[in-house]
Amino acid sequence: MQRLLLLALLVTAVPVLAQSQVGMGPGVSGIDLEAMDPDVRPQDDLFRYVNGQWLETVEIPADRPRYGSFDILRERSEEDVRAIIEDAAAGDVVDPDARKIGDFYTAYMDSARVEALGIAPLQPDFDRIDAVASVEDLVRYFGQNSTSYGPAPLAGFVTVDAKNSDRHVYTLWQSGTSLPDRSYYLEDRFADAREAYLGYIETMYDLAGWDGGAEAARTILDLETRLAQDQWTRIQNRDPEARYNPMAVADLVAQFPNLHVDVMLETIGLPATLDSVVVGQPSFLAGLDSTMAEVPLEDWTTYARFRTLNEAAGQLPQAFVNASFDFYGRTLNGQDADRPRWKKAAGATSGALGEAIGRIYVDRHYPQAAADRMDELIENLREAFRISIRENPWMGEETKAEALRKLEAYVYKIGHPEEWEDYSDLQVDPTDLIGNGRALRAWGLADNLAKLGEAPDRSEWGMTPQTVNAYYSAAFNEIVFPAAILQPPFFNVEADDAVNYGGIGAVIGHEFSHGFDDQGSQYDADGNLRNWWTETDRAEFEARGDRLVAQYDAYAPLPDANVQGRLSLGENIGDLSGLTMAYRAYRLSLDADGDGVVSASEEAPVIDGFTGDQRFFMGWAQVWRALYREAALRQQLQTGPHSPGEYRANGPLSHIPGFYDAFDVQEGDALYLAPEDRIELW
């Protein structure tokens, strides 16, 4: 990768990137000056230099496990969504799905009716459990849960074929456990969580009026522990080749007779002509086959009753809600208080009718001024990536050609879908909360199964417009930016370009980079899982990735808990490469005449005492401002692909020469790395 320090030395033809007018007027820096701690040196800890005062004075809201820039924006989006839903419920929204939006929310908010009904709405699900008399019945019951409340140790869904992105396949995936990760069942350090889980199960039994809670709790934990032992780890599941295992249905039936795969598929509603599926974790199927045969039916039905109750807990009387929160919220996440009912209701409604709400959200809140700039920013980031690939010092020409082909094939989506989801077949009843859950599952299953035999619809979105996030899809080779993320601190239409490149620019670069991280780089320009690397280049790429793994493995947010560098590798590559590309794009955007040199007259002005380059990196650091409760942080370290905020902010900086120039970083500073130790990827 061409070092950013050498950008000013480029004398070959450099494209003139679009020049933004954002921030050229009032001289707004876009940096939250009140959040800073000037007693911290940026050369030692840019994260705390930019965010230190905020970190010391802000308290995590009682109903949240963590709090930061993303959460603040999500709170705004949540309030906007609430207003839309309540207007729809009041009849003040003109939209074809307004009634359904209002009715779904009304059913959730009708706590008096929920209290009066108790667990009676789940009786059909309990009756199905009582009817299980054989392993085949059990499999049929699991299949029925695709449209009802209840567990399934094996999940299934239609998705794009990883090796033929022009078609869909049906995929089987490991499932069946209730705790956050298999490690919670198997490792001594989570023994307290297991004990709390036993107590929670007993409490739920008592609330339901069922006898034998203590015995049932041990049975359920033992069964889920057995399932967890056969599950793949999250790191194993990061290998797209390992999890791509096409198998004939007939072979599955013969190889795993106790799974009755044919019965399961038929019950779910798969066509009889389906002759093959993709298995995510073959060894899990082997273990599950033995478990199905060896665990008594009575244990399975005990497990099923509790899991049904647990799954519906948030939609049951308040005592069940409280018990569920005490375990999942207070014990596992460290929260002091449960989320208000309206937030849960709004979240559930947005989950059910997300694009219907999104359509109204876009009309009310879509930041068009920001959206108009996104095309320009994305193309500037693409040009920065082109230069990086062409100048890459460790990659051969054959691999570069494939990488450039993939880059040019990138599709990007901004704001909202062009065509909205059709909810006409979804039935919603304002008096039946549990029934709405069943209806939603049935509608979602039918929508998913209808994709089989059809070419993938590349116009579909995987997030709603009101979602504060962004994503890269390997199958479609696309990056997607919902409307709700186009706000400060990611994008500030009143600020100068530096902070916007450090914010939304780095987010764009991050998503671009996912196509070239340890997983995304295994997919080609057409979205197919195919090795397009030479053996030498791939080995070098992986060696550099291993060095990044070692860096993040060394971060210890807690005395007894480190970041998992291998689990978070994809996101850490995205952060390093994304910030690198955003900085390159920012510097190129200053080069008005395209001669490859940013002259003194072209440099950004000093605002609030900071140069443009300093504001760029500070903009990046304030994006990752976040506080965590200890329990939630432990869970993230164990299960999440993202490093905690401070490591996302500081981790990439030591590898980017422009950061050294911006803050005069010298040997001996905490963020200094010798040039030979810096990692150059893209």
**Residue 49 and residue 187 in one domain:** no
Q: Please report how many Cα atoms fall inside a 13 Å half-sphere around the Cα of residue 436, on the Cβ side.
A: 23
**Residue 498 and residue 568 in one domain:** yes
How many domains in the chain? 2
Q: Is the pLDDT of residue 613 over 50?
A: yes
Q: Which residues of 253-278 are buried (b: 16+ CB within 10 A; e: fewer)?
A: eeebebbbbbbbbebbebeeeeeebb
Arithmetic mean of pLDDT, 52-76? 97
**Residue 264 and residue 358 in one domain:** no
**Residue 261 and residue 373 in one domain:** no
Q: Is the pLDDT of residue 682 over 80?
A: yes
Q: Is the pLDDT of residue 375 over 70?
A: yes
Arithmetic mean of pLDDT, 176-186? 98
Q: How confident is the model at residue 570 (pLDDT cuts 50, 70, 90)?
A: very high
Cα–Cα distance measured from residue 197 to residue 191, given in angstroms and rounded to the nearest whole number: 10
**Residue 266 and residue 397 in one domain:** no
- Domain boundary among the residues 275, 295, 315 is at 295
In a domain, 37, yes or no: yes
**Residue 70 and residue 199 in one domain:** no
CATH number of the structural domain spanning residue 204: 1.10.1380.10
**Any idea how long the chain is?**
682
**Residue 556 and residue 631 in one domain:** yes
Q: How confident is the model at residue 99 (pLDDT cuts 50, 70, 90)?
A: very high
pLDDT tens across 74-86, in order?
Answer: 999 999 999 999 9
Q: How confident is the model at residue 371 (pLDDT cuts 50, 70, 90)?
A: confident
**Residue 214 and residue 65 in one domain:** no
pLDDT tens across 107-163, in order?
Answer: 999 999 999 999 999 999 999 999 999 999 999 999 999 999 999 999 999 999 999
Q: Please, what is the average pLDDT of the chain? A: 94
In a domain, 277, yes or no: yes
Cα–Cα distance measured from residue 604 to residue 266, given in angstroms and rounded to the nearest whole number: 64
pLDDT tens across 629-668, in order?
Answer: 999 999 999 999 999 999 999 999 999 999 999 999 999 9
Beta pairing, strands 626-628 & 66-68 = antiparallel
Arithmetic mean of pLDDT, 539-561? 98
In a domain, 92, yes or no: no
pLDDT tens across 434-448, in order?
Answer: 999 999 999 999 999
Contacts of 514 (CB under 8 A, 6+ apart): 472, 474, 479, 520, 570, 574
pLDDT of residue 369: 76
Q: How confident is the model at residue 27 (pLDDT cuts 50, 70, 90)?
A: low
Q: Which amino acid does the sequence have at 478?
A: E
Q: Percent of the chain beyond pLDDT 70?
A: 96
Instruction: Specify the residue for token string 């760029």.
Output: 616
- Domain boundary among the residues 295, 317, 338 is at 295
Could you tell me the two tokens for 643? Answer: 């490093």
In a domain, 319, yes or no: no
**Residue 270 and residue 375 in one domain:** no
Full domain range(s) for residue 30: 4-78+354-416+428-448+481-677
**Residue 362 and residue 290 in one domain:** no
CATH number of the structural domain spanning residue 614: 3.40.390.10
Arithmetic mean of pLDDT, 366-381? 85
In a domain, 101, yes or no: no
In a domain, 217, yes or no: yes
In a domain, 517, yes or no: yes
Do residues 441 and 146 touch, judged by C-beta distance below 8 A?
yes
The secondary element (H helix, E strand) that includes residue 173 is strand 164-174
